Chain A
Amino acid sequence: MGRTAGLIAFALLAATSAAAGEDTSGWATVPGGRFRSALALADAPQGSPVVRFVMMETPVTNRQFLEFVRANPRWLRDRVPTALAEPRYLSHWDGPTQLGNRSLPNSPVVWVSWFAADAYCRSSDARLPTWTEWEYAAAADATRRDARSDPAWRERILAWYAEPSVAALPSVGNDAANAYGLRDLHGLVWEWVEDYSALLVSADNREQGDADELRFCGAGAISTSDRENYAVLMRVAMLSALEGANTTANVGFRCARGP
């Protein structure tokens, strides 16, 4: 599809969805910039450019996901291909089209596979954000676009990881908006990204030097350039351990559009 056609389609869709008012959460624009990931990327030591994109202000909720599975029965938990979602998919709902005590309407949807998250975003003419886009957006605090070097900011984020999980997740949107107007990037759920399987992290260096079981071809696994940024590194470790059909109690997602 030509770039122009894509842009027109996008503009039309943006207009129709605004008219229908279906996106209660709204979308926020994230201006482009140069970004240095907490991951040491051998091929981009000076960081890489991020192009302007838009992102859902909050993660997709149970209510929104319920609308999606109603409109796309292939993604109901009793019909979904098991190659695309493991048996625990949406297991916290009371029924295939019924939320419950553990899945409140305004809470972020979890127990969703990458394939289901991808399908949801495609159905909204959007896509999952890339890891770089997510990390870039999540580096902001309320006033700064990159707050990562602030120890107080790091402490606050890490505090969440130390809290025990609760039975029902809180609602989306309670968190204060960051500099881009995005909420809940930290402190509520972990989120799928489009290139979850690009995060080639080895637990250790086991694979290296063993020609029979070379796991990764090319420039070697990703290492870290910012050891202090535990919050980001934990997310990477989590995503790098997941297969696309996996679902967990604390991984949800949000969608992005553009550039």
Chain B
Amino acid sequence: MKRLQIAAAELAFIALTLGALVAHSAPTLPRDSIYQLDAALTDQAGQAMRFSGLRGRPRVVTMFYTSCQYICPLIVDSVKAIERGLTAQERERVGFALISMDPERDSPAALKKVMDDRKLDPSRWALFRPAEADLRALAGVLGIRYRALSDGEFNHSTMLVLVDAEGRVLARTEKIGSDPEFLAAVHAAAAG
């Protein structure tokens, strides 16, 4: 009898340990998640994290750089337009992540300035400086092409990518300005 009790106690202990382990390690990412890419990011507050730290809610992810005069302000405008197009409740459930293609100049302070100047709500917006060595790969999973020019500017394609909470791509758009289909996909993701 005593033996049985010990065995039962051991079993209970094992179950507890396993439970604790499961609770402490996030479930495995799906194979088609863009967060499968291991990349280092630093946000506008100077907080370091891995790319997979973005999981947890649907997000619109894209790339930009702060010194860009021409199209990057339009990229921020496009994402803000999406934000405005959502209901208050939907807005609570999505995130907006902009990753710099100019990590050399886009320090957390430079990113913070854009957050402030453009009045981006930090509860759902985050701007990131990627590690230099991970930049091309990050652009790769997002489907963005870019080339650094000798004058410090960048020649780049534009792509907004909508991913679900686990990083699976739900929609993409190359359109600057409004894209009703893309907005519909964001609505759906925020509802789900």
Pick the contact of A215 from B36, B37, B151, B174 — CB < 8 Å?
B174
Q: Are A214 and B71 in contact (CB under 8 A)?
A: yes
Asked whether A216 lies within 8 Å of B156 as measured between CB atoms, the reply is: yes
A217 and B174 contact, CB distance less than 8 A: no
A to B contact number (C-beta, < 8 Å): 97
CA distance A222 to B148 in the complex (A): 13
Which residues of B, 134-182, contact A by the 8 Å Cβ criterion? 136-137, 139-141, 143-151, 153-158, 167, 174-177
The size bracket of the interface on B is 35 or more
Separation in Å of the B173 CB from the closest CB of chain A?
A: 10
- Answer whether residue A195 sits at the interface, using C-beta atoms and an 8 A cutoff: yes
Bound Cα distance A198, B158 (Å): 13
Q: A115-B37, A214-B71 are contacts. A197–B139 as well, Cβ < 8 Å?
A: yes
Known: A43-B151, A243-B143. A217 touches B136 (CB 8 A): no
In chain B, what residue has the closest Cβ to A195?
B136
Q: Is the CB of A198 within 8 A of B32?
A: no
Query: Which residues of chain A (182-233) have a CB below 8 Å from chain B?
Result: 194-195, 197-200, 211-222
Asked if A215 and B157 make an inter-chain contact with CB atoms under 8 angstroms apart, the answer reads yes
Q: Are A82 and B32 in contact (CB under 8 A)?
A: yes
Q: Are A81 and B154 in contact (CB under 8 A)?
A: no
Asked if A253 is at the interface of the complex by the 8 Å CB criterion, the answer is no
**In the complex, A222→B68 CA distance in Å?**
20
Task: Tell me which residues across on chain A come within 8 A of B37, comparing CB atoms.
Answer: 81, 83-84, 115
List 6 additional contacts besides A43-B150, A197-B136, A215-B157; criterion CB under 8 Å: A81-B31, A83-B37, A197-B139, A212-B177, A215-B158, A217-B157
What are 9 pairs between A and B in contact, CB < 8 Å?
A: A81-B29, A81-B37, A115-B37, A199-B147, A200-B147, A213-B174, A217-B70, A217-B155, A219-B149
Residues of B within 8 A of A (CB): 29, 31-34, 36-37, 68, 70-72, 136-137, 139-141, 143-151, 153-158, 167, 174-177
